[in-house]
Amino acid sequence: AALAGCEVVLWLRDAAAATEIAATRVNPRLPGIALRPAVHPTADPAALADAEAALFAVPAQSLRAALEAPGIALRRGCPIVICAKGIERSTGSFLSDVAASLRAASPCAVLSGPSFAQDMGAGLPTALTLACSDEALAAELAAALSGPTLRVYHATDVRGVEIGGAAKNVLAIAAGIVAGRSLGESARAAIVARGFAELRRFADAHGASPATLMGLSGLGDVVMSCSSPQSRNFAFGLRLGQGATPEEAAEGKLAEGAFTAEALLGLARARGVEMPIAEAVADVLAGRRSVSDTVSALMARPLKSELA
């Protein structure tokens, strides 16, 4: 947002972290990236009162708590832009539904697509999708966030955009496991393509547009997250494939797919959508099956039409 020329209040819940970031002008979670002068770190939620839009860049499982944080009083009608990618595990809810249930007076948008924070902070070229059911607002927010190094396309298919972001993390773990097990590039391409097929089936069952899934927030993010160890989800899967336990594989970093896998599967089962790859990831994470057994089981599935 600062790169696009906006004044940015960077609200943190931790006062000590806000003071440190204000003094050093670097967020320790984004080392080497100097905060632009237009970014104003603070732990005072009252500083958000006049915000024209509020971007929630917290883990998916923390979105509810962040929206309900004490003292946060956004102006009535202030758009909420969800930057998290996931499904709420405790309720099986999509994040836009969490926001709508807590902030009914605020329009809700979802910002998603292939983007590593480190790349964006370094000013490398990036393109994203921002979806809001109010198309004029989607276009307005997309324009406000776009700048010389970021192109934001707008869309109205909120469900499709949030499904792409949530499901790709689970798929990236699967692709990482394949790489960590040294199963070969052929296997990785197969898992990504078949994983994308199940992602599309899931999206279809939830009323999303197939075209959305072929865009930045679907295919774009799948391509990136399933091929780069810079993705925390891919790296997490890589370590799982090399034999680490889920706790060891996390290395203290956020791998959203680990929290979303079971919730994604629950939603899929409720609509009769087959998602064998997401199921394999959930099984490995829950200790229900070993990586080796999972690979054998996937290979032994009955043959069927590719389009079924």
Q: Which residues bind ligand G3P (CB under 6 A)?
A: 85, 114-116, 169, 172, 221, 224-225, 231-233, 256
Could you give the CA distance from residue 273 to residue 189 in angstroms, rounded to a whole number?
22
- Of residues 61 and 106, the one with the C-beta less far from ligand G3P: 61
Could you give the CA distance from residue 138 to residue 80 in angstroms, rounded to a whole number?
11
Active-site annotation, residues: 168
From the list ligand G3P, ligand NAD, none, partner contacted by residue 88 (C-beta under 5 to 8 A by kind): none
75 is in an annotated binding site: no
Among 142, 216, 222, 254, binds ligand NAD (CB under 6 A): 254
**Residue pair 278/198 in contact by the 8 Å Cβ criterion:** yes
- Which residue is it, tokens 């692709």? 175
- Does 127 interact with ligand NAD (rule: CB under 6 A)? no
Could you give the CA distance from residue 82 to residue 58 in angstroms, rounded to a whole number?
9
From the list ligand NAD, ligand G3P, none, partner contacted by residue 231 (C-beta under 5 to 8 A by kind): ligand G3P
95 is in an annotated binding site: no
Task: Point out which residues pair with 112 in neighbouring strands.
Answer: 129
106 is in an annotated binding site: no
Q: In whole angstroms, how large is the CA radius of gyration of the chain?
A: 19
Per CB under 6 A, the segment of 63-71, 150-158, 178-186, 244-252 that binds ligand NAD is 63-71
**What separation in angstroms does the CA of 163 have from each of 54, 114, 151, 185, 306?**
21, 14, 21, 26, 22
- Does 286 interact with ligand NAD (rule: CB under 6 A)? no
Could you give the CA distance from residue 151 to residue 215 in angstroms, rounded to a whole number?
14
- Does 66 interact with ligand NAD (rule: CB under 6 A)? yes
* CB-facing half-sphere around the CA of 109: CA atoms within 13 A: 30
User: Which residues within the stretch 7-36 sit at the binding site for ligand NAD (CB under 6 A)?
Assistant: 13, 29
Per CB under 6 A, the segment of 65-73, 148-156, 189-197, 210-218 that binds ligand NAD is 65-73
Among 79, 86, 195, 241, binds ligand NAD (CB under 6 A): 86
- Of residues 24 and 296, the one with the C-beta less far from ligand NAD: 24
- Of residues 18 and 224, the one with the C-beta less far from ligand G3P: 224
**What separation in angstroms does the CA of 28 have from each of 21, 24, 198, 229, 252?**
8, 9, 37, 20, 14
**Rounded-to-10 torsion of CA 13, 255, 274, 215:** 80
Q: Tell me the binding residues.
A: 13, 85, 113, 115, 117, 168, 221, 231-233, 253-254, 256
Enumerate binding residues for ligand NAD (CB under 6 A).
Answer: 13, 29, 57-60, 62, 65-66, 69, 83-86, 115-117, 254, 256
